[in-house]
Structures are given as C-alpha cells and as structure tokens.
Chains A and B, each alone.
Chain A
C-alpha cells in the first residue's frame, strides 16, 4: 500500500477513537432531549463535575476545603486516606443521582409547561452554577485522573498491522491509544445497556412514553417527576463515563466543559433523538475532521479541526435538518 493511503488510514483510525469520545458526550444530550425535549447545555459541565468529584473522592480531598479554611481559619485539605476507585465510582454515581434529584426539585419542577427556550436558558444557568460549584468544592487546578485504564500506544495493535506496510521502512504499524480501544468497548457496552433498558424494562417503557407524549404518560399513571430524575441520573452516569475517559486522556481541567460544544455538531449529524445517531455522528465527525485535516492541510493550512465539524453540521442542516437518524418532521396542513 502506498504511504499516503497508509497514513490516511491511520488518520481515520485516530479519528474513530476521538469520535467515540465525542459520542460519549453527545449520548448524555440525547438522553435528556429525548425524554423532556430540553437541550441540556450543562451536559459538558456535568462530565467535568463528575470527573472532579471522582478525583476528589479518590484522593480523599475535603470538599469545600478552601471555603472552610477561609471561613474558619483552619487548614484542612485531606481526610488522610485514599478511596479505592471501586468505591469512589459508586460514590460519584450517588452524587450525580443526588444532583439529578436536586435539579428536578429546584429547577424543573417550577418550569413545567414552559417554552423549550426557557428550559434551555435554565440549563445554561445550571452549567455556570455547576462549574462554580465544582470550583469551590474541589479547587480549580488541573488534576490527574487514574482509574486504572492503561495509557500509551497499543503495542499489539502496532505490531500486528506492520505487515500492511509491505516492507515500507517508514511504516511501523498503526498507532492507537490503548485508552481509546477501551473507550470504544465502554461506549459499546453503554449503548447496548441503554437500548436494553429502554426496550425491555418497565421504567424504560415509561421513559419512552414520556418522550412521546406527556399527557398520555400521565393518564396511564407515569410520574413525570420520577422519570425526569431518572433521565437526569442516567445522563449524570453517562457524563461520569465521558468525564473518566476525557479525564484519563488529558487530565481533569475546566476546559473539559467545552467539549459540550463539540457535541453540538455531532448531534446535528446524528439527530437529537437517536442514541445510535449520537454514536454514528461522533464517529463521522471524528473521522471526517482527521481526514479533512490530513488531505487539506497542505493546501489550506492547519487547525482545520477547529471548524470542520461545524461546517459539516451546517451542510447537514441545509440538506437533512433532522440528522441521519432523527425523526423526520412532517407537518400536515
């Protein structure tokens, strides 16, 4: 195979693994949008907050330590023990469920039957609140997150793809982060679990029912409030997964909340209401931006990754506004 093709394939593989990370974030958006028609702007910050909380628990950090120290003149920072990951993750899930409950109690409950734009604004407020809360609780410095996922290139994958080069001296096999392989497996498990849950359980059925028609759902005895807590909890767990993957890759830092912006074109491509769409959209954007960069960089220069996704989304809006897997909107006159 020629060198160009090989490197293009490598770029594509790289794109797939970045794409799956986008998908993980987009998944959280889809869940909440499907169930309540709310575009949850806070999804990215939820991923950040979940990752921060996980690191905090792991390190045995005292939450609000800065605040406590400033008010009481003390100097507490750590409980003096480290929480094992296997306990820290369920503890973080519990925090995210608590957060979901709080969101329903404090925000959603009072905004029933409001316009979508008002709910959207509420989630923007929520995003800033949560970002601030994360800062006060755990501090603003970049943290290392290690949940035992392997780092670095995958040697096995590299060695076993070297023959594709056909003796080419510049080709040492395809490079892929082992972490990304895990991300793919985790995303697959997550999607399968979500699909099984929504198709085959009573709560899953209730979830789909609420997504379809609030009034009808009420009439068969489904509590909307319970369903909202449930969806936000699941979205919180998905956010934790996304937070773990991104955090393991590039450290837990506040710029993590910006990945939400990358999820937007993913959703436009995949459709706002489709779980498989979120996955396909993420992969397409990931591969698309890497390949575009690979081929176009010599011509138009670098940094195309910053805008390519949005261009692609714009093109989709023009020709297929409902996205690849979204529900087609047909208005009968």
Chain B
C-alpha cells in the first residue's frame, strides 16, 4: 500500500512524490438530515495529482468545498502542512495557498481576461489601502511585479490573444482555461479543480489535460481534481479516491481502484441474484 510510505513514493512515470501536505481525518459533512460525506479520510501528498471520482451525487464536490473552506464539516480534522486547520472563511483558505476552480465556471464576467487573472494575485499585493488609492510608489511597483507574474501565466496557458477580451464574450472552453489561469496566478500550494473538462470536446480535453500535466510538472503544484471522464482520470492521476453515497469505497493508484470490486460495482451496478 502506498499510504504506508511516510516519505513519499515514485510514480510510474518516474516522478518523486513528497510527503503529506494535507490530511483529511474522519470528515463528516451533513446538511440537515442529509449526510453528504460520511467519515472519509485520505491524504494528499506534495506534488501529486490526486483524483476524486465517483457517480453523480457521491459527494465529490462537497469534498472539494470542504478542502477549500466553502463548507465546514461537522466532524473530523483537516491537517494542512502538519497543523490542524481551524474553521475559517473561504477567503482565508485561499490566502493560505489553496486555489480552486468551479464546476460551473465562476469568473468575473464583466472584467477582461487580464483583470480576472490579476484578481488571483490579490493576496500577493501587500501595499496598504491608502497608498493603493493614491497610487504611490510602492503600489505602482507592486502592480508591475504582479503584472509580470500574470503575463507568465498567460503565456503558459497560451491565452495571449484574448487577454483584453471581456470574459463574457469567450466560448466555454476558453472560460475554463481563464479560470485555471486565475487560480494559477495565485501560485497555490494545492490546486483544486472541480470537473475541469466537463462539457468540453475531445480537442479541448486534450489541451486541458496537457495544461494540468504541465502545471504539475513545471511548478510542482499539487493538484486535486474531480473528473467524470474515466480515461482522463486514469491518464492524469497518480492516486485516486473513489466515493459513492458519501463514503470512500476505494483509494490507490488508478490500476488498483480499477480492479477494486466495490468500485466496479458502484460504476456498473450489482446484480441482485
């Protein structure tokens, strides 16, 4: 079992994965009487691509919302970089280096692509409120530094051509990419992607897969992703958590979960004879 190796492991394609960066311990999330997540534990290691899969309504998005602080679980602990994370607002979680994208794209539609990505740099800008308002030296310099970082992301994701375009005018696939760019601009420790390829055609999916791999490779960013396309998940991810009805039914390398009887049952159904 991979979980028993405290100092990381080597992936099939020869990348070294580091120690545990985040550990979820016995997380339970309820909405009134409905149990969305039931006693789930798993860990996320430095530099790996961790997928969460499962049938519709399995609680995958809820899991991502717990990690990003949008939901607060009733039970369980979330240990980030060795320390228990107290209950905190989502914007604080984001400032701790956990960026995310949404299943139904959440971009600032009225703003240009560039401005959208600039918002990702928000907490890298430290100058005070007044100097910002007055546009004093420090604030102006800071804006420049952050612009450079944003330009890098724009180059990386190959969206130079649309940087001045208002987001509302972009097609779906590009919007997804801009959302990824905004998350990347914040230079996150952990990047959470909620169905990054939902609704895309084959070509767009290939592009997005390439970008995800490149991000992981180039910046060493730890990535947690939810995806429905099994082919994509198997190609991209190093380890997979499988959820069904709010419970964890499998955890391991893609090959391991593919051969897990519970997972096969959840996806294909069981005959009741």
A residues whose Cβ falls under 8 Å from a Cβ of B? 197, 200-203, 205-206, 208-209, 211-213, 215-224, 327
Docked-complex contact B139 and A201, CB < 8 angstroms = yes
Task: From B95, B122, B125, B182, name the one whose CB has the most chain A CB atoms within 10 angstroms.
Answer: B122
Chain B contacts for A202, CB-based, 8 A? 122, 125, 127, 132, 139, 143
B94 CB-CB contact with A under 8 Å: yes
CB distance from A193 to the nearest CB of B (A): 9
Chain A contacts for B92, CB-based, 8 A? 221
A213 to B106, CA, bound (A): 7
A212 to B168, CA, bound (A): 11
Enumerate B75-123 residues with CB–CB distance to A below 8 Å: 89-92, 94-95, 99-100, 102, 106-111, 115, 118-120, 122-123
Docked-complex contact A208 and B129, CB < 8 angstroms = no
Enumerate B233-261 residues with CB–CB distance to A below 8 Å: none
Chain A contacts for B123, CB-based, 8 A? 221
A213 to B129, CA, bound (A): 22
A222 to B92, CA, bound (A): 8
Residue in contact with B91 in the complex, picked from A203, A208, A221, A327, CB distance below 8 Å:
A221
Docked-complex contact B132 and A220, CB < 8 angstroms = no
Known: A202-B132, A206-B119, A209-B119. A218 touches B91 (CB 8 A): yes
Known: A203-B132, A208-B110. A220 touches B115 (CB 8 A): no
Chain B contacts for A213, CB-based, 8 A? 106-109
Docked-complex contact B119 and A197, CB < 8 angstroms = no
Docked-complex contact A215 and B102, CB < 8 angstroms = yes
**Chain B 42-74 interface mask (CB, 8 Å, partner A; 1/0):** 000000000000000000000000001010000
Task: From B90, B107, B135, name the one whose CB has the most chain A CB atoms within 10 angstroms.
Answer: B90
B12 CB-CB contact with A under 8 Å: no
B34 CB-CB contact with A under 8 Å: no
Task: From A197, A211, A221, A224, name the one whose CB has the most chain B CB atoms within 10 angstroms.
Answer: A221
Chain A contacts for B143, CB-based, 8 A? 202
B186 CB-CB contact with A under 8 Å: yes
Residue in contact with A220 in the complex, picked from B70, B94, B135, CB distance below 8 Å:
B94
CB distance from B229 to the nearest CB of A (A): 23
A289 to B91, CA, bound (A): 47
CB distance from B11 to the nearest CB of A (A): 29
A222 to B118, CA, bound (A): 12
Task: From B106, B107, B143, B183, name the one whose CB has the most chain A CB atoms within 10 angstroms.
Answer: B106
Docked-complex contact A212 and B120, CB < 8 angstroms = no
Docked-complex contact B102 and A221, CB < 8 angstroms = no
Chain A contacts for B95, CB-based, 8 A? 221
Closest partner residue, chain A, to B127 (CB atom): A202
A208 to B119, CA, bound (A): 10
CB distance from A182 to the nearest CB of B (A): 24
In the complex, besides A202-B125, A219-B68, 4 extra interface pairs with C-beta distance below 8 angstroms are A202-B127, A203-B129, A220-B120, A222-B119
Chain B contacts for A216, CB-based, 8 A? 102, 106-108
A-B contact count (CB 8 A): 83
Docked-complex contact B135 and A200, CB < 8 angstroms = yes
CB distance from B123 to the nearest CB of A (A): 5
Question: Which 5 pairs from chain A and chain B are nearest by CB?
Answer: A216-B106, A221-B94, A212-B108, A218-B90, A201-B132
CB distance from A208 to the nearest CB of B (A): 6
CB distance from A93 to the nearest CB of B (A): 13
B202 CB-CB contact with A under 8 Å: no
B161 CB-CB contact with A under 8 Å: no
Chain B contacts for A205, CB-based, 8 A? 111, 115, 118-119, 122
Residue in contact with A222 in the complex, picked from B110, B115, B122, B132, CB distance below 8 Å:
B122
Closest partner residue, chain A, to B135 (CB atom): A200
Docked-complex contact A219 and B99, CB < 8 angstroms = yes
Known: A200-B135, A203-B129, A203-B132. A220 touches B109 (CB 8 A): no
CB distance from B103 to the nearest CB of A (A): 11
Closest partner residue, chain B, to A219 (CB atom): B100
Known: A209-B119, A218-B94, A220-B122. A203 touches B133 (CB 8 A): yes
Chain A contacts for B102, CB-based, 8 A? 215-216, 219
CB distance from A225 to the nearest CB of B (A): 8
Known: A202-B122, A213-B106, A213-B109. A218 touches B115 (CB 8 A): no
CB distance from B130 to the nearest CB of A (A): 10
Chain A contacts for B106, CB-based, 8 A? 213, 215-216, 219
Docked-complex contact B135 and A212, CB < 8 angstroms = no
Task: From B94, B95, B107, B109, name the one whose CB has the most chain A CB atoms within 10 angstroms.
Answer: B94
A13 to B159, CA, bound (A): 50
Write 5 A-B pairs (CB below 8 A) sorted by A numbering: A202-B143, A208-B111, A215-B70, A215-B102, A220-B182
Docked-complex contact B108 and A219, CB < 8 angstroms = no
A220 to B89, CA, bound (A): 12
Chain A contacts for B90, CB-based, 8 A? 218-219
Chain B contacts for A211, CB-based, 8 A? 110
CB distance from B106 to the nearest CB of A (A): 4
A83 to B109, CA, bound (A): 47
Known: A212-B110, A213-B107, A218-B70. A201 touches B122 (CB 8 A): no
A213 to B111, CA, bound (A): 11
A212 to B186, CA, bound (A): 19
Known: A202-B125, A209-B119. A197 touches B133 (CB 8 A): yes
Task: From A208, A212, A215, name the one whose CB has the most chain B CB atoms within 10 angstroms.
Answer: A212
